[in-house]
Amino acid sequence: MNLSNTPKIKIALLPGDGIGPEVTEQAIKVMDAVAERYDQHFKYCHADVGAIAIDRHGSPLPEETLEACLNADAIFFGAIGHPKYDNDPSAKVRPEQGLLQLRKSLGLYANIRPVTTYEKLLHLSPLREDRIKGTDMVIFRELTGGIYFGEKGTAKDGQSAFDTCSYRVDEIDRITRLAFEQAMLRRKKVTLVDKANVLETSRLWRSAVKGIAQEYPEVELDFMFVDNAAMQLIQYPSQFDVILTSNMFGDILSDEASVLAGSMGLLPSASVGLHTSMFEPIHGSFPQATGQDIANPMAAILSAAMLLESLELHEAAQSIRTTVQYVLEKGIGTPELKPNIVYGCSKIGDLIAHLVADPEEEILVREDKANQQMSTII
């Protein structure tokens, strides 16, 4: 393969803490397989963030890390968090501050979370299989406005406090267009979740979204109050295609939806920014599993697929998704999936990378009666 004339795509790698470096390593294996198969060239820049950055640099987001992110075509983020900070309420500098600062510095205004169920894993969901079957949605959460960023305060006597929720039309417009563009690639349905019967900001959302919807006549737009949406996510999750909502509602609903698939180790995410975009698995740093090779890297690998899609490498992105689904259908996975064949984190990465590089390969599953277990042949 001759990469001399292939443009280099610069990826800032922020593995972070806990299992972050382990799952990131597997995602990079798969990215390298994509580079081999599709004649691409990824240039990686490793940088510290979170607890490890505090230990090494005294800051959860060193200046050189931010610079690497600003100069990158995309950012891949692992996870942050460490018990020595989590268990110390007096700590003035915390790993999570690095992530918040990164979101602000990059203008990451839209959080995108796909939630997909897999036939082989329906039994892992807390819902009945007939409820969860066919669920395939994407949640678009506005990330830089709303009540989290509005004016707030507490009265001097400590007897009252306030948090102001504020939105501008341009903040609503930019994420709405992303949601409708995504819907055009899917089942052409957008559900706006709000509280327009009570909140003035929700009424502004409805007005702005209705205006943009006129530019997408093929897309069906419906509306749902947030309390009803919370119930519908449990009762009939398969009805949703693209959910569009504000910061706080999206925070709550995306966490609710994250349990539907049965494992957070399967769920990727993207945060779209004004300068560049960041891609990360939704799970945390899971310090208890660090170094044990049991973490599920599939969420990180699927986040890499979202990264590739953002760079318009659609075929490569789909090849990753197809491969992950194929591996799961063969009954292969990390321990928390309770699969027929248990692989460690690194072996899952090796397998998916191998199959992405050579999609003609087939996995044969056989029963080893002597050892009473299943094994695979590639």
pLDDT digits (tens, 9 = 90+) for 256-285: 999 999 998 999 999 999 989 999 999 999
pLDDT band at 368 (very low <50, low <70, confident <90, very high): low
Encoding tokens for residue 158?
Answer: 């400590």
Q: pLDDT at residue 17 above 70?
A: yes
| pLDDT the model gives residue 100 | 86
Which residue has tokens 């081999």?
36
Q: Got the DSSP string for 243-255?
A: EEE-HHHHHHHHH
Share of the chain above pLDDT 70, in %: 95
Average pLDDT, the chain: 93
- By annotation, the residues acting in catalysis are 148, 195, 227, 251, 255
Measure the CA–CA gap between 66 and 105, rounded to whole angstroms.
8
Average pLDDT over residues 173-186: 97
Average pLDDT over residues 346-354: 97
pLDDT band at 7 (very low <50, low <70, confident <90, very high): confident
Average pLDDT over residues 199-224: 98
Strand partners, 278: 75, 271
pLDDT band at 85 (very low <50, low <70, confident <90, very high): confident
**Are 355 and 326 within 8 A, CB to CB?**
yes
| pLDDT the model gives residue 36 | 95
pLDDT single digits (tens) 60-74: 999 999 999 999 999
Predicted TM-score of the model (pTM): 0.90
pLDDT band at 86 (very low <50, low <70, confident <90, very high): confident
| pLDDT the model gives residue 87 | 76
- Listed by start position, the domains of the chain span 129-262
pLDDT single digits (tens) 118-146: 999 999 999 999 999 999 999 999 999 99
Measure the CA–CA gap between 358 and 242, rounded to whole angstroms.
33
Q: 129-262: which CATH topology?
A: Isopropylmalate Dehydrogenase (3.40.718)
Q: pLDDT at residue 3 above 70?
A: no
| pLDDT the model gives residue 255 | 92
Encoding tokens for residue 103?
Answer: 């979101």
Cα angle vertex 170, ends 167, 174, to 5°? 110
**Long-range contact list for 292-295, CB < 8 A, 24+ apart?**
293/22, 293/344, 293/345, 293/346, 294/334, 294/335, 294/336, 294/344, 294/345, 295/19, 295/22, 295/23, 295/265, 295/334, 295/345
Q: Exposed e or buried b for every residue in 89-110, given b needs 16+ CB within 10 A? A: eeeeebbebbbebbbeebebbb
Q: pLDDT at residue 371 above 80?
A: no
| pLDDT the model gives residue 259 | 92
Measure the CA–CA gap between 269 and 251, rounded to whole angstroms.
13
Which residue has tokens 């940088």?
47
Residue 143 DSSP symbol: -
Average pLDDT over residues 161-172: 96
**Are 148 and 258 within 8 A, CB to CB?**
no
Measure the CA–CA gap between 226 and 205, rounded to whole angstroms.
13
214 to each of 172, 175, 180, 217, how far by Cα in Å? Answer: 15, 16, 11, 6
Q: pLDDT at residue 1 above 50?
A: no
pLDDT single digits (tens) 280-325: 999 999 999 999 999 999 999 999 999 999 999 999 999 999 999 9
Q: pLDDT at residue 88 above 90?
A: no
Q: Got the DSSP string for 318-370?
A: HHHHHHHHHHHHTTEE-GGG--SEE--HHHHHHHHHHHHH-TT---EEEEETT
Measure the CA–CA gap between 376 and 367, rounded to whole angstroms.
9
Identify the burial level of 317 via C-beta atoms within 10 angstroms of its C-beta, where 0-12 means exposed, 13-18 middle and 19 or more buried.
Answer: buried
Strand partners, 377: 364
Encoding tokens for residue 248?
Answer: 């706080």
Measure the CA–CA gap between 129 and 239, rounded to whole angstroms.
15
| pLDDT the model gives residue 186 | 96
